[in-house]
Amino acid sequence: MTTLRDGELLRAIVARWGDGVGVERSASSDALVIDARRSVLPGVAHWLASDRQMRFATALAVSEHDRLKVHYAFCGIEAPGWVELVSTPDAGAPHASLRSVLPAAYWEERRISEETGTRFEGHSDREALPASAEPGSFTMPVGPVYSGSAESALFLLETWGENVVRAVPRLFYKQRRLERLAEGRPVRDALLLAERCNGRSAFAHAWGFARAAERIFEIDVPERARMLRTYLAELERYRAHVAVIREICESTGLAVATSRAAILEEELLRLSGELCGHRYLFGLIDVGGLTRDFDDARLIATVERLQEIHGGLRSLGAALRFEGSFFDRLENIGVISPEDVREYDLVGPVARASGSGEDLRLLRPYGGYRRLALRAASEDQGDGAARMRVLFRECASSLRLVRQVVPGLRAGPVCVPIVPRTGSALASIEAPRGAAFHWLECDERGAVVRYRLAAPSFRNWLGFHLGMERFSFQDFPITLATLGLSVAESDC
Amino acid sequence: MSEWVLQGLREGVKSTRYPKRAETAAGVSPGLPSDTSCDDPQRARSIAGLCPTDALLASDRTVTVDRGRCIDCYRCARATPAAMRWDLGYEWGSPTDEGLQDSSRRLGSAFGRSLHVRVVDGGDCSACLSEVAQLTGPYYSLHRLGFFITPTPREADALIVVGPVTPAMRPLLRATYDAMPAPKRVIAVGACAISGGIFRSTRDEQEGALGVIPVDVVVPGCPPPPLAIIHALLVTVERAPARAVAQ
């Protein structure tokens, strides 16, 4: 299999950028490292993202010989491996920012500057609210502690009464610094931190972390574990989507629909609890496979129960479709255009509701997805209603995937022992809320040296304002619910 | 509109009978380890060594559990040969020593049938908040017991805290607590709120909600299931006897 380290990309870079870049294959990982001069850095980044169709994953500050360098990671869509674009500042000068060519890099750079004190060109010390263009308007804070049992986050609503000009999120009250806490811990313990990045997509993030570690240790995960992971991940996606559907019903004040969705959600939680002990699938993933095996008959019974629950979800969906007062509140609210999705590199159901067909299960298949039939659920309208349709369609496709896994299961081990080794790896996973990137570096004892979890919510909150312009007050909770963003996942 | 009424009726009554009767449905609790004795001290030490959060303590031939630290990783349950006894119940709410001793913090009997609860997210992973959200759904129907989630601390008699209480959330939790009228009680829900859980760093001894405000009742679990939170609320208003939980 050709990887990004192989000749073609390397030659293309040298041919195009010549003396402006130094290119080498990394000694400790699958990466192709491009050291770019400041003058060509934004150009190379733009070229990788647009001409070469690579996805910007995340950025990391690396200290080399007392100098802080910023590594921007780009994933190839076709070939495995990744590209690290390295930016080295001139002595005493601030780092160049990629914000203008790659808006998604902005929060990654801000995170680096807050952690290390590094300065980036064009970033102000403290992000001030843009001066209001609307005479007579004022800013109304919502949060950080608000509503019944909402996550802690602050929203600044610029308004003059009934209408809101825009809403600006102020996050990171929940920052637990789990990436820092992971440093020095053995990979198996650090995995527990990744799992608790977001409880509602715990399995996906634990799997992403495990994939990164398995890549470093060069572990071939047993076939049975790969298929079971796929099965459990789809069970989780189904439940995570139903939870968002429940929140959407709740935000519109439709009590019976909220109750019916809550019944489905609790039944799914009980289904998980019955199958594997934990209602949120904690403690199942291990580096090298799974911590336990499952009885095939139990897996089949679970699929049958899921099928029953899906009958309930379909009837809820049908009832909502004919409820004009419900759909009127979802249509044309929080519209995000396909152009905005591309520019801000938005991910997951939010992007797929705005015409994007991107789904890492298809683009960079992992686990059992290579062998399973799957189509990306895509809608064009980009409004709240489209986002809800995507959730319903993805629930149906998760059920189909879970059904496909069981007949192909062969008996065999579900975990292999690990032999630690030094190295680094970048792994990607399609979590329920979208693409997540796990960048992990280990030492020879198998302890974490560096860890970065670029979660889908972190990416999508950056685009939050795109759907939050010029709306009326009562649409705020509805738009917020249809975006389905997690604060915990972003503030990890 | 009438269609919704019909659908609601067709669903029937889903609510649990707890606390009148024990809930026996499968999957309502992830369980917690219980104190276990084993054959030899060596084995006890090796079981305790499995725990990533130091929740297990070996003394001679018994392994005792500090439930407030357990994060449900199941390592001690899945060890071979089978190691820790697993408690699949959910009546885990237990008062703290300070909560028991200080009688001025007790709620009067007037609160027994009407308790308003404010929830503060101190940086949870969203699993605890998700379980809190299930409380008001049909399966647990918190309102039938006279418990209500309120959006304002001014109306709150009790405060539920979830998450390890991050530095940014500490002053906000304190402000919420201060805004509540006395008498008031605080319930720390989940391993993070009790001990910092997996996010506990060794440097700082006092983590979770306990370092910020006085805590009266704790509910272990990662996350504690809805029934455990209901039990803690019943303990808070003294409608359920506080079970002595091994600390």
Number of structural domains found in chain A: 3
What integer pLDDT is reported at residue B186 of this predicted model? 96
The mean pLDDT of A360-386, rounded to a whole number, is: 93
CB pair distance less than 8 Å for B73 and A147: no
Which pLDDT tens digit goes with each residue over A225-250?
999 999 999 999 999 999 999 999 99
How many contiguous H segments (helices) and E segments (strands) does chain B have? 8, 11
Distance from CA of B101 to the nearest CA of A (A): 30
DSSP A26-87: -SSSSEEEEEE-TTTHHHHHHIIIIIS-PEEEEEEEEEETTEEEEEEEEE-SSSSSEEEEEE
Structure tokens at B185: 């009680």
Beta carbons of B198 and A192 less than 8 angstroms apart? yes
Residue A148 confidence class, pLDDT cut points 50, 70, 90:
confident
Helix axes A475-483, A223-251, angle to 10 degrees: 170
Structure tokens at A402: 């879970």
What range defines the domain where residue A157 resides? 138-170
A302/A430 same-domain check: yes
DSSP A91-157: TTSPBP--TTT-TTHHHHHHHHHHHH---BTT--SS-PPPPP-STT-EEEEE-SS-TTT--S-EEEE
User: Whose CA is closest to A251, among B2, B133, B7?
Assistant: B133
ipTM: 0.95
CB pair distance less than 8 Å for B132 and A319: no
Task: Say if B241 is an interface residue toward chain A (CB within 8 Å).
Answer: no
A157/A257 same-domain check: no
A387/A306 same-domain check: yes
Burial (CB < 10 A; 0-12, 13-18, 19+), residue B163, is buried
Task: Say if B2 is an interface residue toward chain A (CB within 8 Å).
Answer: no
Q: What is the arrangement of strands in the sheet containing B217-219, beginning at the earlier edge strand? A: B94-95, B217-219, B185-189, B158-162, B115-121, B147-149
Using DSSP's 3-state secondary structure scheme, residue A167 falls into: strand
CB pair distance less than 8 Å for B27 and A148: no
At residue B118, φ and ψ (nearest 5 deg) are -100, 135
CA-to-CA dists, residue B154 to A140, B108, B186, angstroms: 20, 18, 14
A287/A402 same-domain check: yes
A220/A150 same-domain check: no
Q: Give all domains of chain B, ordered by start, each with its CATH number.
A: 32-87 (3.30.70), 94-236 (3.40.50.12280)
Which pLDDT tens digit goes with each residue over B55-71?
999 998 999 999 999 99
The structure tokens 């007790």 sit at B106
Beta carbons of B33 and B85 less than 8 angstroms apart? yes
A162/A72 same-domain check: no
The mean pLDDT of B231-236, rounded to a whole number, is: 95
Read off the CATH number of the domain in which A323 is found: 1.10.645.10
A165/A235 same-domain check: no
Beta carbons of A82 and A426 less than 8 angstroms apart? yes
Closest chain B CA to residue A197 = B125
Which residues in B16-132 belong to E strands, given as ranges? Answer: 32-34, 36-37, 56-59, 62-65, 85-87, 94-95, 115-121
User: Whose CA is closest to B232, among B171, B194, B181, B188?
Assistant: B188
B52/B70 Cα distance (integer angstroms): 9
CA-to-CA dists, residue A131 to A134, A468, B197, angstroms: 9, 17, 42
Q: What percent of chain A has pLDDT over 70?
A: 97
Of A3-12, B23-32, B232-241, give the lowest mean pLDDT range.
A3-12
Closest residue to A319, CB basis, from B7, B119, B136? B7
Q: Which positions 113-132 of B are in contact with A (Cβ < 8 Å)?
A: 119-132
Q: Which positions 135-154 of B are in contact with A (Cβ < 8 Å)?
A: 136-140, 149-151
Which pLDDT tens digit goes with each residue over A29-66?
888 999 999 889 999 999 999 888 888 999 999 888 77
**Is residue A162 scored above 90 in pLDDT?**
no
Structure tokens at B134: 């299930």
Residue B246 confidence class, pLDDT cut points 50, 70, 90:
very low
Q: How many residues does chain A have?
A: 492
A89/A154 same-domain check: no
A394/A355 same-domain check: yes
Distance from CA of B108 to the nearest CA of A (A): 25
A352/A208 same-domain check: yes
Closest chain A CA to residue B173 = A145
